């Protein structure tokens, strides 16, 4: 056991560091459940307006308590300080609500790793499934899920109802398997040739013609840039909420990238389709193997692999080239190094390496963002 793991004192976390958003809390909860270490978060979400914890963050705290019988202090809306003490995670089936339009994919990413490491189970999550500034359900299923599989983390996902802002009221069900055969090394430093672009255009509770207009615009904007794509328009089941989404899934020889654009009132369907196409076009201009969001999200499984926390296999190393080194990425990296004996470093060309920390070694090297 290393120093980083032996320490019984709560991990002290300054929530205003770097990006200063909700991700610090969500990842701290995941890591606390996996390592058994408690934490004290202060200045929570100091860089956001309004600052402090929001209902969707509290839903993650409640979820972490439900999985482990752990305890928290200070978990209230608007709170800037929180203490969390985990219990042992119990494999099993859980039904959790994020409340009005909180993100179920973000809640899932928080609880999935502890549940998988503990032996698996199922999560039925209710709230928003397609919300701004978070992974959409389609991104989770199309991009994040295959990435997790590369680390020996398997799941089955099923969308029951889509939930859009502001009502939310969506639901998805995840069957989480125990970890199997983690790899020794994950190398995602080149995407290789482009194989396929699928345009998915969806409407929930709104006229189907909107889905056709979104996908026509996305296909045309891609064609103008020299990319050929194929489209499928689908209705999504909803309960109370209505909304639309365009999701582009780009398959490369070695990696997958995904781009979500959401409809909003007063925003033409064509603009939504073009927005998704432009995100993909920007990605194509970079040498990145992974889109910028996966670039911060992959750090958690990579760190678990490097710390030997994914089953009995020896610690492994992950190397990848994200579209951009974002502040989300660097903030997340520093957090992981607080809980686990790992080192995250970024090369001059932007390649990220997550490796076991050498005995007596310091934390990562250059970690400046490019933006």
Ligand X SMILES: Nc1ncnc2c1ncn2[C@@H]1O[C@H](COP(=O)(O)OP(=O)(O)OP(=O)(O)O)[C@@H](O)[C@H]1O
Residues carrying an active site annotation: 328
- DSSP code of 101? T
What's the closest the beta carbon of residue 6 comes to ligand X, in angstroms?
A: 29
Residue 119, sorted as left (phi over 0), alpha (psi -120 to 50) or beta, turns out to be: left
What's the closest the beta carbon of residue 174 comes to ligand X, in angstroms?
A: 17
**260 vs 317 by CB, closer to ligand X:** 260
What's the closest the beta carbon of residue 79 comes to ligand X, in angstroms?
A: 13
Per DSSP bridges, beta strands 256-262 and 243-252 are antiparallel
Contacts of 49 (CB under 8 A, 6+ apart): none
**141 vs 155 by CB, closer to ligand X:** 141
What's the closest the beta carbon of residue 93 comes to ligand X, in angstroms?
A: 26
CA distance 49 to 157: 33
**4 vs 346 by CB, closer to ligand X:** 346
What's the closest the beta carbon of residue 132 comes to ligand X, in angstroms?
A: 7
Signed CA dihedral, 170, 173, 179, 184: sign only: negative
Residue nearest to ligand X as judged by C-beta position: 22
What's the closest the beta carbon of residue 270 comes to ligand X, in angstroms?
A: 19
Our measurement of the distance from residue 233's CA atom to the centroid of its chain's CA atoms, rounded to an integer in Å, reads: 25
Tokens of 96: 């959790």
Q: What φ, ψ does residue 223 adopt, rounded to 5°? A: -60, -40
Beta bridge partners of 354: 318, 344
**4 vs 155 by CB, closer to ligand X:** 155
Report the side by side order of strands in the sheet with 39-42: 11-14, 39-42, 82-85, 71-73
Closest among 231, 243, 233 to 209, alpha carbons compared: 233
CA distance 268 to 294: 28
**201 vs 260 by CB, closer to ligand X:** 260
CB atoms within 10 A of CB 174: 22
CA distance 170 to 157: 14
CA distance 370 to 354: 19
Closest among 208, 146, 202 to 170, alpha carbons compared: 202
CA distance 35 to 22: 20
CA distance 70 to 110: 15
**133 vs 265 by CB, closer to ligand X:** 133
**145 vs 357 by CB, closer to ligand X:** 145
What's the closest the beta carbon of residue 217 comes to ligand X, in angstroms?
A: 18
Residues found near ligand X in the complex (CB under 6 A): 19, 21-23, 45, 48, 54, 133-135, 139, 260, 293, 296-297, 328
What's the closest the beta carbon of residue 139 comes to ligand X, in angstroms?
A: 5
Closest among 148, 62, 139, 47 to 102, alpha carbons compared: 62
Asked if omega into 166 is within 30° of 0 (cis), the reply is: yes
Q: Please name the residue that has the structure tokens 């969806």.
A: 202
**68 vs 134 by CB, closer to ligand X:** 134
């Amino acid at each position: 056991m290393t120093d980083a793991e032996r320490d019984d004192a709560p991990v002290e976390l300054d929530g205003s560091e770097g990006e200063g958003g909700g991700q610090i809390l969500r990842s701290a909860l995941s890591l606390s459940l996996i390592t058994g270490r408690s934490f004290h978060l202060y200045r929570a979400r100091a860089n956001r307006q309004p600052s402090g914890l929001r209902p969707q963050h509290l839903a993650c705290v409640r979820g972490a308590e439900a999985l482990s019988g752990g305890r928290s202090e200070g978990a209230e809306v608007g709170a800037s300080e929180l203490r969390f003490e985990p219990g042992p995670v119990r494999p099993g089936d859980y039904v959790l609500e994020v409340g009005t339009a909180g993100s179920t994919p973000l809640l899932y990413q928080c609880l999935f790793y502890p549940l998988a490491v503990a032996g698996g189970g199922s999560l039925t999550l209710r709230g928003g499934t397609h919300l701004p500034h978070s992974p959409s359900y389609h991104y989770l299923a199309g991009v994040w899920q295959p990435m997790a599989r590369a680390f020996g983390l398997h799941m089955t996902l099923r969308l029951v109802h889509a939930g859009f802002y502001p009502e939310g009221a969506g639901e998805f069900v995840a069957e989480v398997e125990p970890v199997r055969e983690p790899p020794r090394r994950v190398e995602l430093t080149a995407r290789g040739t482009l194989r396929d672009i699928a345009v998915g255009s969806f409407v929930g509770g709104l006229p189907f013609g909107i889905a056709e207009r979104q996908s026509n615009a996305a296909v045309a904007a891609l064609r103008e840039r020299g990319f050929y794509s194929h489209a499928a328009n689908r209705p999504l089941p909803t309960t109370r909420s209505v909304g639309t989404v365009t999701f582009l899934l780009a398959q490369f020889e070695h990696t997958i990238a995904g781009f979500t654009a959401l409809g909003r009132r007063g925003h033409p369907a064509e603009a939504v389709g073009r927005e998704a196409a432009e995100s993909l076009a920007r990605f194509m201009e970079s040498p990145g193997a992974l889109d910028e969001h996966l670039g911060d999200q992959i750090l958690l499984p990579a760190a678990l692999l490097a710390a030997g926390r994914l089953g009995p296999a020896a610690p492994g190393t992950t190397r990848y080239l994200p579209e951009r080194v974002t502040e989300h990425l660097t903030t997340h990296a520093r957090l992981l190094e607080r809980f686990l004996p790992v080192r995250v470093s970024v090369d001059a060309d932007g390649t990220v390496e997550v490796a076991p920390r050498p005995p007596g070694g310091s934390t990562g090297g250059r970690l400046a963002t490019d933006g």
